[in-house]
A and B are shown apart, each in its own frame.
Chain A
Amino acid sequence: MRLTYRILAFVIAAEVAIQAAVMVYAVAGLGIWVQEGGVLDKAVMESDEFAFPEVVGFMLHGMNGMMVIPVIALLLLIASFFAKVPRGVVFALIVAALVALQIFLGIFGHEAAFFGMLHGLNALVLFSVAVWTGVRARRPAAEPSAAQDAYA
């Protein structure tokens, strides 16, 4: 279970990296499309049609961020209950909280760009914490302190 825990933590970190990549891919595609004469307005934004192929980046970002990553964070939390990682539950909870915060910052970013800025910063925090959560769970801890700490 410790291995599962570690893998899930690293998968979340990888997912954050993917989120950054697809977002910039989409924004770059949008810039090129506008440069070539495309007009972006709300009607285009709301259409599910691919006005330009890189739109797929926005869609992936949304589905990944709203569905896939929260599910993985939840699985990490459940894995933490079983994995004998000292303070593993605490770290899994922190990851889950950062994921939740990230979702809300992403949503509020549609209303005030400032939240979008925080969304970008929080992505780095989440990435770092997820990596550290995986790295620190490397060594099996000596019994029995691990068992106690896991519920700290």
Chain B
Amino acid sequence: MPTRRGVRTAFAAAASLAVLAPLAWFWASSLVPGAYSVTDLGYADHGGGPAHHAGVSVPVDALVPPAGAAPDVSVVLTAEQGPFTLPSGRRVEGYSVNGSSPGPVIEAEQGQLVEVRLVNESVGDGVTLHWHGVDVPGGMDGVAGVTQNAVAVGEEFTYRFYADRAGTYWYHSHQVAHEQVRGGLFGALVVAPAAEARPVEVDALAVVHLFPGGRTVNGLDEDTAVAAAPGDRVRVRVVNTDAGPMQTWVEGAPFRLAAVDGTDLAGPEEVEDVSVTVTAGGRADLEFTVPEGGARVGLGGADLLFGDAPDEPGPVPAAILDPLHYGTAPPAPALSAEDADRVFEYAIGRRPGFLDGRPGLWWTVNGGLYPDVPMYTVAEGDLVVMRIANGSGEVHPMHLHGHHALVLSRDGVAATGSPWWIDSLNVADDEEYEIAFTADNPGIWMDHCHNLSHVLEGLSAHLMYEGVSTPFTVGGDHGNHLE
């Protein structure tokens, strides 16, 4: 005969089990294998197009420029982990390229073959280089666990690609990137056009990054004077290497937003008292003529000063330039949603749950927690439309590798300005963008949030071409992390 005490304990144990068992089940079912191929997890989303045919596939690392050609630009980049000195003289702990951060500016002319030998001197987790905004061949994308293995200490990897589009780009690690990029493992890549449409006298870079203690521009903590005389035409290439959007603007002179994400805008008109949003990972080129009183390019921390600009910054402009309606529209859009071969939804949400066993509040893609996310499948030549809808409560800088996409509309309002090509798109909460791109670059391409911590929190998917496979795994012996 069970005692009252026994019954009571049994009840209590059963109640505890009823609370803990579902939690344990959710926990266990969220666990991701120690090593996996990105092509094996998640589910295929064909976007209304045909499914892939099974058959012969090309490994992604075979998608490289033809061997043999001599590079026009040849650079060695050595990655190190540990304390280093910023150009400002400040010592910081982090990751450096050739002894400092930002790493060297790689300069090329449109059409040149660029070769970069990456040497890992001392980065314990391994390192890669991703060419942010450059539509490199699939094997050169630098994503650890997808297009290559992380380069371990003492090893090296050579990247080769044609710089076929002029513009402002950057490179950064894509291995444990939330830490390595934050810590300084990045630099700028500037591709000069074969023929300059609007030549400028001064071409300046503003690589913006928050190091501990404050935001820096080109590694400098203070406002920096750039040599320029009144009347000089200036192009400032702003690169946002941080995790959230920033504003930039010109004080003292009207300016044009000349380019976004490396692509020149058509017919950019002069504007004043507005700021331009540069999303995380994004670039914006501003153009202006230095007036008698000088001009200041506001970057929200250390600024760039041209000519005889006043020492004290004015207020940040209240208005924000909207690229959706800026510049001159072409007679007919380059890409149209009506011609789409595949239409994908990329809906970003947020809910509590377990992500690889970690309890928390995580981002979702189309309702699923990573790795229960879509693999967007395409075939070469497809016109792809993607609808990125953000209902997650926070802004997400969405970055598609290997392609430039044309913004078609936002919240149902069609783009009426210059063609607005992006590789990094600021999708604010409650916004929905429709973008289109041509699947013209075979490979396996990450399509993720460039707030790199968000990748760890599940906000990552990928685009997969028919007939392309990857021999690499996330995790495993090389400790590959795809962010």
Q: Which residues of A contact B (CB under 8 A)?
A: 38-39, 41-51, 66-67, 70, 74, 77-78, 81-82, 89, 103, 107-108, 110-111, 144, 147, 151
Contact = CB atoms under 8 A, between A and B. Distances in A.
B19 A42 contact: no
A46 B16 contact: no
Contact of A41 (B4, B213, B246): B246
A42 B275 CA distance: 14
A49 B15 contact: no
A47 B210 contact: yes
A67 B215 CA distance: 30
A108 B429 CA distance: 12
Given A147-B4, A147-B8, A43 B19 contact: no
Interface size class on chain B is 35 or more
Given A46-B451, A67-B359, A107-B393, A51 B246 contact: no
Contacts of A77: 19
A49 B8 contact: no
Which 9 interchain pairs have the tightest Cβ spacing? A46-B244, A42-B244, A81-B12, A46-B243, A43-B242, A43-B244, A43-B246, A81-B15, A47-B210
Nearest to A70: B359
21 contacts: A38-B214, A41-B246, A42-B245, A43-B242, A43-B246, A43-B300, A44-B244, A46-B280, A47-B210, A47-B243, A49-B212, A51-B214, A51-B215, A66-B360, A74-B19, A81-B11, A81-B15, A103-B352, A107-B393, A108-B393, A144-B4
B360 A46 contact: no
A43 B20 contact: no
A50 to B, nearest CB: 6
B312 to A, nearest CB: 11
A110 B393 contact: yes
Contacts of B212: 49-51
Interface in B220-276: 240, 242-247
A38 B221 CA distance: 11
B88 interface: no
B467 interface: no
Contacts of A82: 9, 12, 16
B353 interface: no
Contacts of A144: 4
A45 B300 CA distance: 13
B431 to A, nearest CB: 13
Interface in B1-34: 4, 8-9, 11-13, 15-16, 19-20
Majority SS at the chain A contact face: helix
A108 B329 CA distance: 39
A47 B244 contact: yes
Majority SS at the chain B contact face: mixed
A32 B361 CA distance: 31
B279 to A, nearest CB: 9
A81 B8 CA distance: 9
Given A81-B12, A111-B393, A41 B244 contact: yes
B242 A46 contact: yes
B20 A78 contact: yes
A103 B213 CA distance: 30
Given A41-B246, A41-B300, A66-B360, A49 B19 contact: no
B215 A39 contact: yes
B294 to A, nearest CB: 21
Given A43-B244, A49-B211, A66-B361, A111 B429 contact: yes
Interface in B424-438: 429
A89 B361 CA distance: 26
A47 B4 CA distance: 57
A42 B246 contact: yes
B397 to A, nearest CB: 9
B453 A48 contact: yes
B317 interface: no
